Structure 1
Amino acid sequence: MGLSPADVLGPQGLIARHHAQYEFRPQQLAMADAVAAAIRERRHLVVEAGTGVGKSYGYLVPAILAIGERKSAGAADRLRILISTHTISLQEQLVDKDVPALRRIVPVDFSAVLAKGRGNYLSRRRLANAVQQAHRLWGQEELQELNVLQQWARQTSDGSLADLPRQPSPRLWEEVRSDSGNCMGQECPTYQTCFYYAARQKLKEADLLIVNHALVFSDLALRLQSEHASILPPVDVAVFDEAHTLENVACEHLGLAVSSTQVEYALNRLYQEHTRRGLLAESRFAEQQKYVAECRQQARRYFESLVQQAGLQGAARRVRSPLHVDPPLSSSLTAMAAQVRRVAKQIEEPALAQDYRAAADRCQELANQIEAWQQQKHDGFVYWMEQELGDKPRITLSAAPIEVSSVLATALFATMPTLVMTSATLAVGRQGSFEFFQSRVGCQRAQTLRVGSPFNYRRQARLV
């Protein structure tokens, strides 16, 4: 018979034996028992746990015990569990404090890995290209940063941004980070030493994956586009802490947003006339340089026209019907993409040609997004514009699904054996109903549990 949550969290449990000041919380144990049952019976669970319950131990302990039970049973396949948070602070608490503490106390051998988005990792190939094209891309300050990056790349063990002693400029990191749109896969000359693919392999071998909601829904959006594409490996159990944020995060990642600054950045990466830098800086690309200048002018006219047509005077305005701008910016960006692809065919070195193909793909992606927004191609979406004034004004074209429950019901809850959602604020009304939350996220069939705070507010709080 394996350990139970009470054997770890109870008044005479493992934690109490290790910590003389341990305070047993029956609410925490009730939550842990419910999570253990949900994992064992392969069903969904919604838990509201008040402040001070200790939610992280309430789901980590049963998760770790379930992993250990699967291993002790000699099962061929491991039980892989995903823990997702919304805030970085909670993620850091899990990785740096809670998981290491439980590893010391609970007699279960398990591996835990922090999953990061792809853009957090250095691409060795892109770094080499940035060095090779340094005279066309960078100024003096960026050249110094590039030199630091080269030295760091020889020493770092994981190649992630968090391992850098000093953060590089956003523009430089954008040029050297790992990017799904600029990846050669196994054909890449640095594939065997790729930091990102090494991190993915660790995820596949881990028992416990610690991620954030943004990465989970980025993965879900990618899977909806292609059944063969993914960021995260398949999991058996998913736990969402800070679950009250799920609907908003899902809307953000299942929606659409494209801005004037994104277009400007993509064009600047191709060529900046005042600095004479960019991928198309060589004199043999004079024709393409003219295309960049024309496309930049068209982009400015396009966004100015949209603002006028929509009557955008404040920070944001809803756009209830398609807007018509002639000629559309999407056509100019598509033509620009064709020009860059023509250049890519002239580059003999495959690793360098990939940078040009990726730049062309980015122009086409922006064209598709702008066209989808302008023509309001997605049914069931709400469309709006936002304007930010200042030294660098920005116009953002946004769209989001009016409701995400139907998508999550089929793409998330129907495919996951066990999904646990917890937060301090999920139930509403005097009766503490979870119906509103469940309807908004698309999880109609789930066990529910509400445990109050162990704090005695009359004795432990003061109004000032």
Structure 2
Amino acid sequence: MSASAEMLLEVSQEIKQEIEAASGNEIFIRAQLNNKDIIEEIEVLARGNSYSAPAVINNLMPGEIVIHNHPSGDLTPSAADIRLAAKMAAREIGFAIINNQADQIYVVVEAGTKKEKQKLNKKEILSYFKKEGKLSQELKGFSERKEQLITAEKIIDSFNQHQFDFIEAGTGTGKSFAYLIPALFYNNLNQARIVVSTNTINLQEQLINKDLVTLKRVLDFDFNAVLVKGRSNYLCLRKFKNFKKNFDNQELELEEKIFYELDDWKKNTESGEKSEINFQLQNKIWNQIAAESDLCLKTSCPFYSNCFFMKARKKIYKADILIVNHHLLLSDARVKDDTGSVDRGILPNFNHLIIDEAHNIGEIATDHLGYPLYQPLMDNWLKRLSGDKKSLLAEIREDIAFTVDSDQKRLREILDKKIIPTTQKIRDLIPQYFNELKNLISNYKDKKITIDDNLKNNPKWNEFYQTAEDLAAYLKNNFSFLQIIYENLYLGLEAETDESEMKIKSSLNRCQDLIKRIEFNLQAEDDDYVFWLESSYYRGSEQIVQKSAPIDAGKFLPDMLWSKLTNVIFTSATITAAGSFDYFYRETGIKKAEELKVESPFDYSKQAELLIPLDFPDPGNKNFLKELVSSLKKIISKSRGSTMVLFTSYRMLSYCYNNLKSELEEKGIRILSQSKLSRNYIMQEFQSEYQTIIFGTSSFWEGVDLPGDLLKYLVMVKLPFPVPGEPLYKAREDLLKSKGLNPFYNLALPQAVIKFRQGFGRLIRSKKDTGFIILFDRRVISRSYGRQFLDSIPSDCPILEIKAKDIIKKIEDNGV
């Protein structure tokens, strides 16, 4: 194709009419080409204003072409056009610009070859889920579930129609098989790689070690499934060689026992994955031997043929289905989006994505789109650059000695009179920078304070601002001098295997990143972001972090990820709030999707009861905590185990723990408190030790699977509303107000309902489970919004409004 009007012959008048109907503004068109590259069919996807239109490109297919008009008549592609055209090219979709008369066209990207995708046979696939189907022959206790059949049918339609789907499937639906079987069939028919992303390690391991293993036996065709992990999870053999050398030369502070255990593991490991290590190893030790993207020599590395990460990467590119987590999915998308290169990420190209535990995707995207700055990040960069005889500057000095005499003096002067003094100044300024932030935040009682005009008018901010500008300036100078060294000492030489060259490029890249973070957070002027200072404790000492996050991650996700895909299936047991997907649409930034809601197949009328003590104080009452301790003591003393208590804050958890620990321990009951122990340790102890109780906060509200008698009593202390005063929440409130929306009903309430549903779902995990959910927050009855919480749980679950003392009788009647 070329810049020819012949393409428009059959549709020119139709397009012109569509543009006129849009008052001459921009429109976005999907077009089908015939075998002579003439446009024969169009569909208007979106309409905009005089200079832009929404790029609605979710379900476009290879061989199609997207067209939009420039009302000005100038068909020169803008920077945004070029970026979008590049994304379309990666999907073999053409991209063109026309004028408002639809008689001129400029093709920016040619359309690829049209590929007819084979459609799934619905009857064949659904037969696997029937009581006489192949799944029933492999799975013990299998039963046909109409909810699973409905879900699987929707997913088949999603693949066949190349749709975006929101699927809420209640606990026990069997949604992993409902999406895995159609996905594997689709891959087998069309050789279309499929990515499945989860939030928790538990679900990843279930998919790769259990469900997909079962399907290997069930399906009549073979497939290759791979669990994808980030590069830092793998041992770097080259770095380990240097690590061992430093140990042998007594330049490494490490216990001999740990080193020899590590060395023995290195000799015997097949995957080189950190998760294989079964002895205690500090992160700071692992970081010295872990693979890193910017310190990788790739094919020039002497260990390339045995590289654990490269072996894993080859498996990824040969895989039919990839299992990833949300963090890796979004990291991969951001790297590709920032660099404009699909080769820079971990994942290969893919068009089909299934996001399980999808209710977390907005929160994780918010984290990944921020630019946090904290002292260890800067200290680590500085330590690699300068500090000991193995540092980069020491290596540069050695390399200068091998240059011709005429260059040695000039390069040594740059090193000694420019770089080293500048580096020392940076070393002095870093602690000053963070100490001034600490002094700044000490004026406030909150541990998180928004950077706004009030803060910027504080004299201490002005003092800090000058220090920050100085630090950024010295980093820029350092970057410039290092760049000169790089260009004169390494660039153009055949020195791809030179570690010093690789390290200086890495240092330059990280220096640039630090400059960006300092300046971005210092200016704090991007209207799409909220900026704040946060005080937290890191390894026993206070640490001040500069944080920034998008107020609306959904504004960024379509361009960063969704626009590059033809088919995305979002699924979770908890996507809706008050029966609506509206909140999830805002979280993801998706404008249009197919929707499905199916209830859990569990019989809650017989398996569970929700108990609400109406004589209990309101959470805002000063006696609430005192009464809570008293009630928890009675409940735990009676149940003596099989109980998990979910709190909404560490403060409340710690208060209850401190007031109950001694008395319960005297009765032989141990509290596993998240304020004292790690989540993994708590889960292990609770499943292996009798008469233990879990006290958990945020992370225990979801991803906890304790079936059978392990968990019979679930206590939810309060409704899990978000903390209203936090900077990100406040910024989102303001954004909703600016759009004329009520923040409580459009933000706080949906978040709380979804979290409540997650917590509620911890109790009943199989058809044999029974138990009580006890909610000490009577606002679900006394407040008008409480109905939304009660309507969100399974419709057949009994709700009992009782007195606090009657809870004990219910536990006694339950056979404890």
Q: TM-score, normalization: structure 2? A: 0.51
CA offsets per residue over residues 6-36 of structure 1, 9 Å max, x none?
2111121111233463111110111011011
Separation in structure 2 between the aligned mates of residue 434 and residue 46 of structure 1, nearest angstrom: 8
Tell which deviates more after alignment, 363-372 or 174-183: 363-372
Is 1:319 the counterpart of 2:467? The answer is no
Aligned to 1:387: 535
Greater RCO structure (CA 8 Å; 6+ sep): 1
Deviation at 1:110, TM superposition (A): 0.8
Aligned 8 A contact 2:163 2:568 in 1: yes
**What secondary structure does 2:466 align onto?**
coil
**Equivalents in 2 of 1:164, 1:389: separation in Å?**
28
Q: Taking every aligned residue pair, what percent have the same amino acid on both sides?
A: 29
- Cα distance, 1:320 vs structure 2: 2.0
State how far apart, in whole Å, the 2-side matches of 1:131 and 1:183 are. 18
User: Are 1:238 and 2:238 an aligned pair?
Assistant: no
Larger Rg: 2
In 2, Cα distance between equivalents of 1:251 and 1:111: 32
User: Does structure 2 retain, via aligned residues, the 8 Å contact 1:189–1:351?
Assistant: no
Taking the TM superposition and a 5 Å limit, the aligned residue runs for 1:116-127 are 116-127=229-240
Kept in 1: contact 2:126–2:149 (CA 8 A): yes
**Mapping of residues 64-463 of structure 1, within 5 Å:** 64-70=184-190, 78-134=191-247, 138-141=251-254, 145-146=258-259, 148-166=261-279, 168-228=281-341, 229-271=344-386, 292-309=423-440, 311-321=443-453, 324-326=465-467, 327-337=469-479, 350-376=498-524, 378-389=526-537, 391-429=540-578, 432-461=579-608, 462-463=771-772
Q: After superposition, give the CA deviation of every residue in 1:37-88 in whole Å (9 maximum; x if it has no partner).
A: 1011111111111111122112112112222333xxxxxxx12111100011
Is the alpha carbon distance of 1:412 and 1:402 closer, same or farther for their aligned partners in structure 2, counting shifts above 3 Å?
same
Whole-angstrom CA distance in 1 between matches of 2:530 and 2:352: 33
Alpha-carbon distance change, 409 to 222 in structure 1, aligned in 2, over 3 angstroms: same
Cα offset, 1:460, TM superposition? 1.4
Aligned CA-pair RMSD: 3.0
Distance 1:234 1:291 in 2: 43
1:436 is displaced (CA, Å) by 2.0
Partner SS, residue 281 of structure 2: coil
Deviates more, 1:242-251 or 1:146-155: 146-155
Render the CA deviation track for 1:213-267: whole Å, top value 9, x for unaligned: 0000001111111121222111131100110001011111111111012222333
Are the structure 2 counterparts of residues 270 and 312 from structure 1 closer, same or farther at C-alpha, using a change threshold of 3 Å? Answer: farther
Structure 1 segment 42-81 matched on structure 2, within 5 A: 42-70=162-190, 78-81=191-194
Q: Give yes or no for contact 1:340–1:357 (8 Å, CA) kept in 2.
A: no
Runs of 5+ unmatched residues, structure 1: 71-77
- Closer, same or farther in 2 for the Cα pair 1:362/1:413, shift >3 Å? closer
How far did residue 157 of structure 1 move? 2.0
CA distance in 1, matches of 2:576, 2:291: 41
What displacement does 1:185 show? 2.7
CA apart distance, 1:367 = 2.6
1:41 and 2:190 matched: no
Residue in 2 that maps onto 1:74: none
Rounded Cα–Cα distance in structure 2 between residues aligned with 1:146 and 1:340: 35
154 and 359 in structure 1: CA distance in 2 versus 1, 3 angstrom threshold: farther
Letter in 1 for 2:182: P
TM-score, scaled relative to structure 1: 0.88
Show CA shifts across 1:149-171 (max 9, x none). 44433432222212333353212
Separation (CA, whole Å) in 1 of partners of 2:515 and 2:256? 32
Deviation sequence 1:354-383 (CA, Å, 0-9, x none) = 235424533342232112211236441111
CA contact (8 A) 1:404 1:442 kept: yes
User: Match of 1:73?
Assistant: none
Secondary structure in structure 2 of the residue aligned to 1:239: strand
User: What is the distance in 2 between the residues matched to 1:138 and 1:342?
Assistant: 31
- Alignment correspondent of 1:18: 138
Residue 561 of structure 2 aligns to a residue whose secondary structure is: helix
Contact 1:256 1:398 in 2 (8 A): yes
State the alpha-carbon separation in 2 of the partners of residues 284 and 103 from structure 1: 57
Counterpart amino acid of residue 452 in structure 2: R
Could you tell me how far apart the structure 2 residues matched to 1:111 and 1:155 are?
A: 25
Alignment coverage as a number of residue pairs: 453
